[in-house]
A = this chain, B = another copy of it.
Amino acid sequence: MPYRLSELAARFELERRGDTDPEIAGVGTLAGASGDQLGFLANPRYRSQLADTAAAAIVLGADDAEHCPVSCLIARDPYAAFARIAALFEPRAALQPGIHASASIASDAIVSPDAQVGAFVSIGARSRVEAGAFVGPGCVIGDDCIVGGDSELIARVTLVTRVRLGRRVRVHPGAVLGADGFGLAMQDGHWLKVPQLGGVVVGDDCEIGANTCIDRGAIEDTVLGEDVRLDNLVQIGHNVIVGAHTAMAGCAAVAGSARIGRYCLIGGGTGIVGHIEICDKVLVTAMTLVTHSIQSPGEYSSGTPVQPSRDWRRNAARFKHLDALARKIGALPQAKD
């Protein structure tokens, strides 16, 4: 299990600097690593911790190398390099193909003999679990679903109906994919439920966080492109389309039929209203509400800054009359444009 630093340098094609070639038995933070661990410096906030690190060696950028008190590996992107090295030290149980005795599987469902299905799993009619897939304990897979090859449903995931996952998709506990979209029409004073006839399509290499919800489409499908990454407690409404490589942080929510581009970064708690389009490479900061389409790449925000509540209350009270204030200023002779 331990690796020489020189082995790591060779395996990950990183330049090694320093006089020692320590044995590395694990990874750690700059502040917490012990003398047989590899630390890393990627976020400049932590640069001041470099001098006192007890780590055996550090992964860092070339600019920081001269200040490194121990041996180091130089990486253009130290965070990515660290991620690849850390994976060597991740304890992972090997897949144990087979179906747990307690699982309840529809007679016309197909489970690959090379897949693993855990305890208390239900699989519905016409669904398919492909080779190398892992369906953890307590998962419920409804009718007409596909779990693509090498995908992992960690535990207690629900695929309701017509959910098709690509390959290497990872879904965390409590996530619900393919529930009814929220489609309602008011008729004679009562809500009428609009049937949700579509499904959910999730591209290869997507990751879906714990307790995240992705509703199935009303007519056509809700679609995640490849390599989309959703954090926990995210809400994706029916018929939303999320472009490849887009990442959304915790508690973000997208209303029905919105389209989000590729390589977008959506901050935590952000809301995106329905039926709008966001182009590629848009970054939205945390807790912003996006109420209209965005046609230019770039960074977008809404809200007001946090303040002591006493100050905030005074300012907030003025906001309620901001238009009147602006009109008053406009009426001043000196203020006219």
Residues of A at the B interface (CB closer than 8 Å) are 26-29, 32, 43, 45, 77, 79-80, 82-84, 86-87, 89-90, 93, 100, 102, 104, 118-120, 122, 125, 136-138, 140, 142-143, 154-156, 158, 160, 170, 172-174, 176, 179-180, 182-187, 189-195, 197, 205, 207, 209-211, 213, 215, 219-220, 227, 229, 231-233, 235, 237, 245, 247, 249-251, 253, 255, 268-269, 271, 273, 275, 284-292, 294, 298-323, 325-326, 328-329, 331-335
From the candidates B185, B213, B268, B331, name the one contacting A77 in the complex (CB within 8 A). Answer: B185
Contact A322 B329 (CB under 8 A): no
Contact B143 A93 (CB under 8 A): yes
Contact B158 A140 (CB under 8 A): no
A208: min CB distance to chain B, Å: 11
CA distance A251 to B183 in the complex (A): 16
Contact A80 B186 (CB under 8 A): yes
From the candidates B28, B122, B213, B250, name the one contacting A255 in the complex (CB within 8 A). Answer: B250
From the candidates B100, B118, B155, B220, name the one contacting A32 in the complex (CB within 8 A). Answer: B220
CA distance A138 to B140 in the complex (A): 7
CA distance A155 to B173 in the complex (A): 14
Q: Which residues of B contact A255 (CB under 8 A)?
A: 249-250, 268, 286
CA distance A298 to B207 in the complex (A): 39
A121: min CB distance to chain B, Å: 9
